[in-house]
Amino acid sequence: MAARGGFSSKIGFIAAAAGSAVGLGNIWKFPYEAGENGGAAFLFVYLACMLVIGFPIMVGEIAIGRAAQKDPYGSYRQLGNRKWGIVGLFGILSGVMILSFYNVVAGWAFGYFYQIIFGNLLEVENFGSYFGAYVSDVSDNMIYSFVFMIFTAIVVIQGVQKGIEKASQILMPILLILLATLIIYSLTLPGALQGAKFYLIPNFSDISLRTIYTAMGQSFFSLSLGMGALITYGSYISKKENIISSAITVTLVDGLVAFMAGLLIFPLVFSQGQAPSAGPGLVFVALPGIFQEMGPIMGRLIGGGFFLLLCFAALTSTISLLEVPVAFIVDEKNWPRKKVVFGLAFLIFLIGIPSMLSVGAVDGLTNFMYYEGSNKSFLDLIEDIFSNIGLPLGGFMLSLFVAFKWKTKRLSEEIAQGNPGYEGSFIQKLVNFSITVICPIILGTIFLITMLTKFLGLDLAFV
C-alpha cells in the first residue's frame, strides 16, 4: 500500500468525491437538459434515478475499489477475472474521452471568467450571438482549454491529499452560498415565477422515453459513476470509513447543487424571454444578462466570481477524470507518476481538439450525421457514446458483476467494515435489490433503447 496515495480522513474523501460529482454536469449540463426535456418532469425523473440507481451504484463502486485497493481495471481483475478486467478498461477509456470534451467546456467557462473580468463581455447586446461566435473562435479556446488541462495536471501531480481534498473543502461552501444568493436575486425579476413553475410543477405527460434515458445518463454523469472514478477514489480510503454515509452525503450535495442551478437558470431564462430549450449554450447565454444588470462593477465582481467558482467546480471534476487513467498506468506499469500525468494530460488535450472544432469552427464536424436527418456535432457524438451510453453501460456491467460474480454477500461484508449496523438494515436491502434487480433490468433495457433511438433514429414512440 505504501506507494499508493490515500485520503487523510473521512471528510477528505467526501470532499473529493463531492468535488468530483459537482461540476459542469450540475451547472451547465443539467439545466440545459432539463430545459430540453420538459423542465419539472425531467427534474422528477432525474431525482428518482439518483436515488434508486445512482446511489446504489455509487456504493458498489466505492466498495469494489476499497476491497481491491486498485485502479478500475486492476479491481475488476482481482475481484473477478481477466475478462471482467475489460469492463474496467472500457471505463477508463470512457473517462479519457469524457475528459477530452469536458475540458473544452471547462475552457469556455474559464474564457467567460476572463472576458467578464478583463474583457467587455458584460457590454455586449446579444449574449446568444456572442456565445456562438465565442465557441467557434478556435485560437482563444485552444489556449483556455490548454491552460485548464495544465491546472488539472498540476493538482493531480500533488496527489490526492494535498491537491484534491483541500481545494474541494474550501470552494464547495462558497459555491453554495453564491448560488443561493443569485437564486434569491433571480426569483425577484419580472416573469421569474413562470420559470420557477416550468421547473417545479411537473406535467407527467411530458415524460417521454427521451426524458428517461437522458435523465438516467445525466444522473450517472453528475454523480461521476460508471467509469471507475469512484472505484479509484474508493481504493484510497480505509476500512474504518462508512461507505454508506459518505455516499449519502455525496449524492445529496450533488443533487442539491443541480437543483439549485436549475432554480437559478429557469427564472432568469423566462424573465429574459428566452427559450428554455436553447441547448448547451443555455447557461452561457442566460447568466451574463443578470450580471450585466448589476452594473459594471458589481457585475464584474459577482459575474467573474461565479465563473471562477464554476471553473473550480470543473477542476475538482477534471482532477477525478484524469486520476483514473493515471492510477491505471501507475498501478499496472509502475511508471513515474509525474510523467504519466503530463503525458496523459497532453494526449487528452489533443483528443479534445476535434470536439473543440465541432461547435462552429469546422462545418464537417459541426454538422455531423449519425443517420439521415440527425444533426449533431462531433462533441455530441463523443458525449453520446462515452457519457450518455457508456456510463449507464458501465453501471449495468457493475450490477451484473456484483450480482453474478462478486456476489452481494461480499459487497455487504465490505460495506459492513466501518458500518457495523449495515447487515440487516433497510439500506442494505435497498442496495442489494437495486443492484441485483432494478439496475440490470432498467439499465439493460435503456441501453438497448438508447442505441436504437440515438444511432438508428428509430421512432420508439409506442413504448
Q: How far is the CB of 122 from ligand TRP (least distance, A)?
A: 26
229 binds ligand TRP (CB under 6 A): yes
What 3-state class would DSSP assign to 366? Answer: helix
Other Cβ atoms closer than 10 A to 375: 10
317 binds ligand TRP (CB under 6 A): yes
Candidates 214, 219, 232, 320; binder of ligand TRP (CB under 6 A) is: 320
What 3-state class would DSSP assign to 20? Answer: helix
Single out the residue of 431, 429, 460 nearest to residue 446, CA to CA: 460
Strands of 353-415 (E only): list them.
none
Please, are residues 54 and 224 in contact by the beta-carbon 8 Å criterion?
no
Q: How far is the CB of 91 from ligand TRP (least distance, A)?
A: 9
Of 95 and 288, CB closest to ligand TRP: 95
139-159 b/e (C-beta count within 10 Å ≥ 16 → b): eebbebbeebbebbbebbbeb
Residues 6 or more apart whose CB falls under 8 angstroms from that of 162 comprise: none
Candidates 227, 243, 326, 398; binder of ligand TRP (CB under 6 A) is: 227
Of 192 and 314, CB closest to ligand TRP: 314
Give the amino acid at 318: T
Candidates 20, 100, 246, 388; binder of ligand TRP (CB under 6 A) is: 20
Stretch that binds ligand TRP, among 50-58, 217-225, 296-304, 400-408 (CB under 6 A): 217-225
CA distance 75 to 338: 23
**Ranges within 388-427 binding ligand TRP (CB under 6 A):** 391
Q: How far is the CB of 190 from ligand TRP (least distance, A)?
A: 32
CA distance 216 to 233: 22
Look up cell 463523443; give the residue: 382
Q: How far is the CB of 420 from ligand TRP (least distance, A)?
A: 30
Please, are residues 102 and 318 in contact by the beta-carbon 8 Å criterion?
yes
What 3-state class would DSSP assign to 368? Answer: strand
23 binds ligand TRP (CB under 6 A): yes
25 binds ligand TRP (CB under 6 A): yes
Nearest residue (beta carbon) to ligand TRP? 25
Stretch that binds ligand TRP, among 16-24, 154-162, 199-207, 327-335 (CB under 6 A): 16-24
Please, are residues 281 and 128 in contact by the beta-carbon 8 Å criterion?
yes
Candidates 37, 224, 355, 399; binder of ligand TRP (CB under 6 A) is: 224
111-126 b/e (C-beta count within 10 Å ≥ 16 → b): bbbbbbbeeebbebee
Binding letters toward ligand TRP, positions 94-133, x by CB under 6 A: -x--x-----------------------------------
Candidates 58, 212, 321, 357; binder of ligand TRP (CB under 6 A) is: 321
Look up cell 437558470; give the residue: 265
Stretch that binds ligand TRP, among 39-47, 317-325, 347-355, 452-460 (CB under 6 A): 317-325
Give Cα separations from 255 to 27, 47, 248, 445 (angstroms): 11, 7, 11, 25
222 binds ligand TRP (CB under 6 A): yes
Which residues are near ligand TRP by CB under 6 A?
20-21, 23-26, 95, 98, 221-222, 224, 227, 229, 317, 320-321, 391
